[in-house]
């Protein structure tokens, strides 16, 4: 495999994953997840490197990656807030939380704070409807959110 810009650990992980599928293209989504974990977002350079590792064309990699809403194609804040606003969360006040993030942190949906601390992504249902409203901060899951609670949680992310 072409090494490109990936760490040895990531390369080994990917080689192990690749063996579980009948062809290397099937390892593309796992590879993109690893790449995003390593670099924070998928630049053209990173996607070129993924293409080399899996023996795919750049078009195949970019064409696939761009379909999925959880891959990022520009630099993100240090912490990514993924807040659900779908029906169950909306019924229990998710919109007030969106307003609060705007007022308190200057954070718009799809935007990043000026200090690069937070990015906000509006989600389409994260399966926490019974304990709505809910969000992920990076991979950490929080539910039963209120305006007080969301501020308290976000203060832990510097």
Partner 1 sequence: MERVLLKNIENPNSAEIDEYLKAGGYRNVSKAFDMRPEDIIEEVKKSGLRGRGGAGFPTGMKWGFAIADPKFPKYLICNADEGEPGTFKDRPILERNPHLLIEGMIISAYALKAEYGYIYLRAEYPKAKEILDRAIRQAYERNYLGENILGRDVRFHLTVHQGAGAYICGEETALIDSLEGKRGQPRNKPPFPVNVGAWRMPTIVNNVETLANIPYIVEIGGEAYSKIGNPECPGPKLYCVSGHVNRPGVYELPMGTTLREIIYTHAGGIRNDKELKAVIPGGVSTPVLPASMIDCRMDFVSMPKAGSMLGSAAVIVMDETVCMVKVMHRIMKFFEHESCGKCTPCREGTGWLRRILESIEKGNGRPGDIELLRDISEDMMGKTFCPLGDGAAGALRGMLKHFEYEFEEHIAGRSRCKGG
Residues near partner 1, by CB under 8 A: 20-23, 25-30, 32-33, 63-64, 67-71, 82, 85-88, 90-92, 123-132, 136, 139, 141
Question: What are the start-end ranges of the H helices in 55-93?
Answer: 58-65, 87-91
Closer Cβ to partner 1, 73 or 151, answer by number: 73
Shortest approach of partner 1 to residue 114 CB, angstroms? 26
Report the alpha-carbon distance of residue 131 to residue 120 in Å, rounded.
20
Report the distance separating Cα 82 and Cα 94, nearest Å. Answer: 12
Residue (20 or 158) nearer to partner 1, CB: 20
Give the residue with the Cβ less far from partner 1, 139 or 155.
139
Distances (CA, A) of 128 to 23, 114, 121: 35, 30, 16
């Amino acid at each position: 495999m072409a090494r490109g810009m990936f760490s040895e650990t990531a390369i080994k992980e990917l080689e192990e994953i690749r063996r579980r599928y009948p062809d290397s293209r099937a390892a593309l989504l796992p590879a993109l997840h690893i790449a995003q974990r390593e670099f924070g977002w998928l630049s053209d350079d990173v996607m070129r490197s993924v293409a080399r590792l899996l023996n795919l064309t750049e078009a195949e990699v970019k064409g696939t990656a761009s379909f999925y809403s959880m891959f990022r194609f520009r630099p993100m804040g240090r912490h990514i807030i993924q807040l659900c606003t779908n029906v169950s969360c909306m019924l229990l006040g998710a919109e007030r939380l969106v307003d609060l993030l705007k007022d308190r942190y200057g954070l718009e949906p799809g935007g990043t704070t000026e200090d690069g601390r937070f990015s906000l992504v509006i989600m389409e249902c994260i399966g926490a409807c019974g304990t709505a409203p809910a969000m992920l901060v990076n991979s950490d899951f929080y539910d039963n959110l209120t305006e007080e609670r969301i501020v308290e949680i976000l203060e832990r992310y510097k």
